[in-house]
Structure 1
């Protein structure tokens, strides 16, 4: 079973959704037969490389909402994140374009560490205020994953994976994905948003049964017992 997850590093619900999905996957009997692939998505591609302002200021200007309303939204998201063991800090969050961060995830994928890179960037962005658009910070992430820092810097400086990120985003638009997180299972099932672990579990089980139907062997007239009687 292959699961593709479109997600943005700058999306608070994507980190929460990741945790809830991981809870469901941990209880999935066939989890060792699941191939997971993170796909890039940008909620705001027009965001400059560096934004001189807070997350509250950015969202209030972008959405045209009162700052008090945005602050209330932050409290709700923080409470949901805390329920998944995440400590969001919107006061220290650095607003930055996420494209380079996605490029680092593609770089890490070539070395079998895509999920670890995704996790690290989400944690650093939402809990520690690290600038996910800064090359030096991204290289530190790579080194922290035991990847070669010089190779990571070269890939980011040369924009080696820029087209790959853009391809992920274009593919999302082709599939009609307009919001993230968005989970696609075997290109047959789609799950939108940070659903509960129960919803993820149900979808995983349904998708598995569909792709792995029970194959019947033997003859239909062999002796067996039913709810009313047994064969004699």
Structure 2
């Protein structure tokens, strides 16, 4: 089973949704058969690397609310985060452009560290108040998950993996994704938003059962020949490894 997850590192519900999905996956009997692929999505691709407005000012301006209302909104989101074991420090979050962080994540993917890098970037932004648009900070985070710091810096300075980020975003556009988190199971079943772990468990089970179901076949000529691997009698068997 393949699960593709479109998310952004500064999306509060993406981190919450990630935790809820992980809880369901941990309880899923066949979790070792599930492949997780993280896809890039930029909530605000036009934001500057070092914007002057803080999180509260940004929300107030974007949604036409007062600063007090913006803070109240973040408090509600923070409670949802606490419920899944996360602490959001909105006072110290540093809004930034996430394109470089996504490029770093794709570099990490090339080294087999995509999941670790995704988790580290989210924690850095939401709980530690780190600037995940700064190349030095990103390189340090890469080192923490076992990546070569100098290689990471070279990728960041030379626009490495930009095409991979744009490719994910283009796939997202073709799928009609306008918000995140967005979970796609086997390129067939979609779950939008930070749904409950129960919802994710139901989808995991449904997709697994569908994968295991064998199609009903009516044999019209009375010959099964299920153990033959040649092409006699005008038919060729297919090995189990090629069934899909």
TM over 0.5: yes
Q: Deviation digits for residues 17-71 of structure 1, max 9, x if unmatched?
A: 0000000000111110111000000111110111112100111112222212211
1:210 aligned residue: 210
Provide the aligned length of Structure 1 versus Structure 2: 217
In the TM superposition, structure 1's runs of 4+ consecutive aligned residues that sit over 3 Å from their partners are: none
Provide structure 2 residue ranges, at least 5 long, that are not aligned to the other structure: 217-244
Hey, what's the Cα distance between the residues in 2 that align with 1:163 and 1:69? 39
1:110 aligned residue: 110
SS of structure 2 residue aligned to 1:183 = strand
Q: Deviation digits for residues 99-150 of structure 1, max 9, x if unmatched?
A: 1111111010111110000000000100011011000000001111111111
SS of structure 1 residue aligned to 2:92 = coil
1:55 aligned residue: 55
1:172 aligned residue: 172
Hey, what's the Cα distance between the residues in 2 that align with 1:40 and 1:212? 30
1:86 aligned residue: 86
1:46 aligned residue: 46
1:8 corresponds to 2:8? yes
1:129 aligned residue: 129
Hey, what's the Cα distance between the residues in 1 that align with 2:59 and 2:163? 28
2:28 aligned residue: 28
**Larger CA deviation: 205-214 vs 99-108:** 205-214
Hey, what's the Cα distance between the residues in 1 that align with 2:149 and 2:3? 29
Provide structure 1 residue ranges, at least 5 long, that are not aligned to the other structure: 217-232
Hey, what's the Cα distance between the residues in 1 that align with 2:162 and 2:174? 19
1:192 corresponds to 2:181? no
SS of structure 1 residue aligned to 2:3 = strand
Hey, what's the Cα distance between the residues in 1 that align with 2:103 and 2:31? 27
Q: Deviation digits for residues 139-166 of structure 1, max 9, x if unmatched?
A: 0011111111111001111111111111
Hey, what's the Cα distance between the residues in 2 that align with 1:59 and 1:170? 27
Hey, what's the Cα distance between the residues in 2 that align with 1:166 and 1:38? 14
Q: Report the alpha carbon displacement of residue 215 of structure 1 after superposing the two structures with TM.
A: 7.4
1:144 aligned residue: 144
SS of structure 2 residue aligned to 1:152 = helix
**Larger CA deviation: 193-202 vs 60-69:** 60-69
